[in-house]
Chains A and B, each alone.
Chain A
Amino acid sequence: MHITTDPWVWVAFFFTLSVYTFLWKDNFLYKIAEHVTVGVGMGFAIALWWQQTVIGQFWIPLKTDFAHNFHLIVPAIMGLMMVTRVIPRFAWMSRYALAFTIGAGAGLGLPRVIQASILQQLSATLLPINFTAHGLGYNLIIFIGVLSGLIYFFFSKEHKGVIGGIANIGIWFLMVGFGATFGYTVMARLSLFIGRVLFILKDVLGMQLS
């Protein structure tokens, strides 16, 4: 065991413990850790964005070769128009920049989203049903799960009789889905805790773990 003398590791150790003090109750140390995390994260992102985007992709290209890069002024002006939201008198200008962003985003995204999340998912549901050693009727289960799940969310007809029965099967599929998601969530939260324990044992206390 070799306890670290690196002050930054001790800073990280302090904030790790500060965050976990919340398990006892909300307190000043937790608040400090929370605010520092948000502040540092945002500060880092802004500094990087300023340096790489505003300076790197706008100011330097414009300064070095204005003739070939003058078109960059257009997105720069639109970016400034976004900021006009903070001045009520000129806030209307931001709508044009927003309209462009939303329009371009939707135009670029929608066809791909429909393709990937609807059409390709639909074709992945309608697969040949087989009971081979590899398949074991999985495709049939997927088909029943999707169909009954969709019927459960079909509210134009009362869930009675056959429709009600299929909707009930849909509920079981949904419950299995929620259970799997909850199980994975528990695993994820524990993984983060294990990460912090590993940090304390390995980086702070210098223990050999691998």
Chain B
Amino acid sequence: MTFWEKLEKLDRRIIYAIITLAVVLPFFFRMGLPISVSPEVKAVYDYIDNLSPNDVVFISGDYDPQVDAELTPMFEAIVRHCFEKNVKLVVANVYNPQGVGLVEPRLKKLAQEYKKVYGVDYVFLGWKYGASLLIMKMGQDFKSAWEVDYYNTRLEDLPLTSRIRNYDDIALVVDLTGSGAYISWIYYAYVQYKQKIAAGITAVMAADSYPYLQAGQLIGLLGGLRGAAEYEQLIHHPGLASVGMEAQSWAHVAIILFIIMGNLGYFMTRRKK
């Protein structure tokens, strides 16, 4: 049996072990690989960076624990940026009730870190049934759409939400999602109300979202862990996404090598036959 034939019959578990090593070892032996920033991530950063302190950013954490690793670093980076710029934040989980438990504790923790006051600097709305209907109603009357926040306080009684009438008072909607929820935001908030929308999505969906970016329906895009790492670089606060990117790069190198070896093996054994 030749080397290439042996390679073709390689136990897949050896491949898993090599990938695991490629992911784990960079956490112990860091090489400090650079993270370049793509224009679509920079566009989101620039948009938020140019907002004034009284502007409102609405973040919808439409994701569940399965994609927490990719989207929570994005959430934390954008919240940090808004808090640093004193931009007001309204956070909700329009499409995914499971996002409540992921978003709320992190928002609270970051608010404490930046000494932000609930109701004045930020508000958490949680989840409410309705999804696309809720998005449409927010364009007509924000307060009657949500009525109360996550803690059952009426929105009229909170200084921040009491001044939000509709999308005219929201500078940007950021949808963080592991599903097609960002497309619904385009359908119901952008098409009807011309609301500015940015999307933070899992890498698996990133390729499909570029037509919406190209058409100007999204102002910017954060794709997967890399998008989060790029945003962390822009706010000069490297977090877990930046730490994870080195592991990602080495794992990609390993996979590229496997693909090259697999193809070489295929052609070599076919030539022999």
Contacts and interface: CB of A to CB of B under 8 A. Distances in A.
Interface of A: 23-24, 41, 44-45, 48-49, 52-53, 57, 108-109, 112-113, 115-117, 120-121, 123-124, 142, 177, 180-181, 184-198, 201-202, 207, 209-210
B69 A192 contact: yes
B67 interface: yes
A23 B13 CA distance: 7
Contacts of A209: 27, 240, 243
Given A45-B98, A108-B132, A116-B187, A188 B204 contact: yes
Interface of B: 13, 16, 19, 23-24, 27, 64, 66-70, 97-98, 100-101, 126-129, 132-133, 136, 183, 186-188, 190-192, 202-208, 211, 214-217, 223-226, 238-240, 243-244, 247-248, 251-252, 255
Given A116-B217, A123-B215, A184-B205, 20 more contacts: A45-B97, A45-B98, A48-B127, A120-B191, A121-B211, A142-B214, A181-B207, A184-B204, A184-B224, A185-B203, A187-B203, A190-B248, A191-B69, A192-B70, A194-B225, A195-B68, A195-B70, A196-B69, A201-B27, A207-B27
A124 B192 contact: no
Question: Closest 5 CB pairs between A and B?
Answer: A195-B69, A124-B215, A188-B203, A188-B204, A191-B225
A53 B129 CA distance: 6
Contacts of B192: 112
Instruction: Classify the secondary structure of A's interface with B.
Output: helix
A117 B214 CA distance: 12
Contacts, number: 132
Given A112-B187, A124-B211, A192 B67 contact: yes
B203 A194 contact: no
Instruction: Classify the secondary structure of B's interface with A.
Output: helix
A145 to B, nearest CB: 11
B238 A210 contact: yes
A153 to B, nearest CB: 16
A52 B129 contact: yes
B27 A197 contact: yes
Given A181-B207, A186-B252, A197 B132 contact: no
20 contacts: A44-B97, A49-B129, A53-B129, A57-B128, A112-B192, A116-B187, A116-B190, A124-B215, A124-B216, A184-B203, A184-B204, A186-B252, A188-B204, A190-B248, A191-B225, A194-B244, A194-B251, A198-B244, A209-B27, A210-B238
